[in-house]
Amino acid sequence: MKNREQFSGNLSVIMAMAGSAIGLGNIWRFPYIVGEYGGAAFIIVYFAACLFIALPIFYAETIIGRRGGLDTYGSMKRLAPGTHWYKLGLLTIISPMLILSYYSVVGGWSIHYLFKSVSGTVGQETGQFSEFISSVEAPILAHTVFVILVAAIILGGVKKGIEKFSKITMPILFFLILVIVVYSLTLPGAGGGVDYLVRPDFSKLTGGAIASAVGQAFFSLSLGVGTVLTYASYMRKQDNILVSGLGTAGFDFLFALLAGFAVMPAVFAAGLSPSSGPGLVFETLPYIFGKMGAGSVWLTACVAGVFFLAVLMAALSSAISILEVGVAYLVEEKGLGRSRATLYLSLFAWAVGLLCSLSFGPLADFKILGSSIFEFLDKLCSNWMMPLGGLLFTLFVGWKMPSADVLDEFSNGGSKPWNVKIYPFVRVLLRYVAPIGIIFIFLNSVL
Ligand code: PHE
């Protein structure tokens, strides 16, 4: 086998994995659902979902990836030769490619808004956003630029592309979001937003709220689509799986909280009510920045620019992890060169993304099972393919792999005493708790 590239160490693994985890999910979904489902009460449930359901699945993927030492398909084949498990490897090559296509459309929006911010034309009126996404050229141009950026980073390879990009952008990203948090909290009337996020309202903690917490933890940690597995296959044997998981989940959780405190106080200060999804980030916030910087075009341009730069970085570092899954597969299983693999897959994501982008405008009436192309792909992946992938990964590690092998990988051959101590708990979580948690997500999608 050819020499595979590897991440330089624990810190690099955490930065790359956190880059994958921290993304649009943290910035636009988390702040909204927290308030919707009971503030601090929801945060507690979300924390538990991360720790007891998402983290074990993260470990399952990491264990498969590092032990298999190949792309998703190759790793499954190597660990379960002669069985049908390789199909799970295939599933987790298709799902990320679909995610990449619509994720890149939204990534493109952040580029567009970054330009608008810097050129001082952001947030002068509401309604701009729906006009923008339903138009043809501008969103497609932005989507194209986004895909090119993702491909360029991936072309750099594991060390000079993914690792370098993540190590540079993660600290900057935290710094940028902190700037916005401070700005947001000092606006007059920000207290309402803080209240919205922290006031515990246990009456809102319904079954739906709990399922949403699990689903959000799942999406946020990039589970079930082979990104964690693929990155783990670039981990060195001496690096610590327990630590990399705790580090990644910790940063991801922290960033989600920061995003909440960046977004919601500003929304309340402006006297608006929080909306969900793209509208919150791309319409409400620019409007607020415009209004708050009233009179000062500079201030608006700076604050909005900083914010959209953060969104763009978060989206890019997630998107590269999604593309890498397919690239690793084509390189290792089909013998393609890295450049060719990157080219083919980015073209695919770009083309499908084109349809997603047009589904806000000219193709709006084209529905699949009642949803636009964009919505359909998002629902298919977030509600079904990701949880299914995650469920199968956990079942594989919890029930199919010999426990001694799992422990061996998790504790680096028994050389990490903490990992050995904690393993019995992890095993119970993997076998029982995580699968039940995923079934919650399915039930929530069905009902
Ligand atoms: N975790 C990313 C986010 O929060 C999304 C993602 C999903 C990335 C699946 C990779 C794989 O935005």
CATH of the domain at 298: 1.10.4160.10
What pTM, to 2 d.p., does this model score? 0.95
Expressed in angstroms and rounded, the spacing between residue 296 Cα and the centre of ligand 1 is 35
Q: Cα–Cα distance between 354 and 220 in angstroms, integer?
A: 25
Q: Please check whether residue 347 lies inside any domain of the structure.
A: yes
Which of the four pLDDT bands, split at 50, 70 and 90, describes residue 267? Answer: confident
Any domain includes 2: no
Domain assignment of residue 247, yes or no: yes
Distance 54 CA to ligand 1 centre (A): 13
Q: What is the pLDDT of residues 227-249, one digit of tens each?
A: 999 999 999 999 999 999 999 99
User: Does residue 369 register a pLDDT over 90?
Assistant: yes
- The predicted model gives 200-212 an average pLDDT of 88
Q: Are 205 and 38 in contact (CB under 8 A)?
A: yes
Q: Is the CB of 20 under 6 A from ligand 1?
A: yes
Please indicate, yes or no, if residue 319 is contained in any of the structural domains.
Answer: yes
Q: How many domains does the chain have?
A: 1
CA distance 212 to 322: 23
CA torsion, ordered 425, 210, 23, 172, to nearest 10 deg = -70
pLDDT band at residue 276, thresholds of 50, 70 and 90?
Answer: low
Verify whether ligand 1 is closer than 6 Å to residue 318 (CB atom).
yes
| Structure-block tokens of residue 257 | 């909280």
Q: What is the pLDDT of residues 218-229, one digit of tens each?
A: 999 999 999 999
**Domain contains 277:** yes
Q: What is the pLDDT of residues 24-58, one digit of tens each?
A: 999 988 988 887 888 889 999 999 999 999 999 99
Residue 273, domain member (yes or no): yes
Rounded to an integer, what is the distance from CA 160 to the centroid of its chain?
22
17-21, 187-191, 206-210 — most confident range: 17-21
Mean pLDDT (the chain) is 93
With bands split at pLDDT 50, 70 and 90, how would you rate the model's confidence at 285? confident
Check if 321 has its Cβ closer than 6 Å to any atom of ligand 1. yes
Is residue 5 in a domain? no
Cα of 447 from ligand 1 centre, angstroms: 24
Q: Which two tokens stand for residue 41?
A: 């009460």
Read off φ and ψ for residue 61, nearest 5 degrees.
Answer: -65, -40
**Which range marks the domain in which residue 400 is found?**
10-446
CB atoms within 10 A of CB 364: 13
pLDDT band (50, 70, 90) for residue 340:
very high
| Residue 431: pLDDT over 80 | yes
DSSP state letter for 363: T
Tell the residue nearest (CA) to atom 12 of ligand 1: 23
Report residue 394's pLDDT band, with 50, 70 and 90 as the boundaries.
very high
CA of 23 to the centre of ligand 1 (A): 6
DSSP state of 273: P
106 belongs to a structural domain: yes
Whether ligand 1 lies within 6 angstroms of the CB of 346 is answered as no
